[in-house]
Amino acid sequence: MPVVTDKIVSFKPGNQVFVDSIGPDAVHFVVFEDDGDTGYVYACQFSDSDKRQEILDTVHIYNVKDVVDKDLESECKIGWSPDGHAAILMINRYPHAVADFKLMRLFSRTNFPKADGNWSKQGHQWEEEALRPFK
């Protein structure tokens, strides 16, 4: 799966971690956060005028209490599609979420929470088609 601008961080689920990756356009970025209880992904952008950070959409990745191998070291990787329009979150080489900035949609394996606002009007449900920008 070809990706560019990779960011790889080792962590244990339940140990607080914050991983961000700015896209090639320097406007969009993705954040993975484990707050000790829950893992989330945020699709974000810098505003044009004052470079303020704006969260466009958020999806749930996991509840720590439900992670079977939480005592083992995991690898979080955030990568960008070659055209820079989509970012992927992979944990232990498995895709958990895709933020497609062109489609204005955030895909998640958990399909939670319910989408509202300007992003993900079709919902957060996972579709294999989300991986197309990375092939």
pTM, entire model: 0.91
Confidence of residue 2 (pLDDT cuts 50, 70, 90): very low
Pairing of strands 4-11, 74-80: antiparallel
pLDDT digits (tens, 9 = 90+) for 21-62: 999 998 999 999 999 999 999 999 998 767 789 999 999 999
Kindly state the DSSP code that residue 122 receives in the 8-state scheme.
Answer: T
DSSP reduced 3-state for 14: coil
Going across the sheet that includes 105-108, the strands are: 4-11, 74-80, 86-91, 94-100, 105-108
**Domain count across the chain:** 1
Residue 17 forms beta bridges with which residues? Answer: 34
What's phi and psi for 64, nearest 5 deg?
-55, -40
Q: Read off the pLDDT of each residue in 7-21 and give the average, rounded to a whole number.
A: 93
Q: How confident is the model at residue 87 (pLDDT cuts 50, 70, 90)?
A: very high
Q: How far apart are CA 58 and CA 72, in angstroms?
A: 26
Range of the domain at 84: 4-134
pLDDT at 82: 92
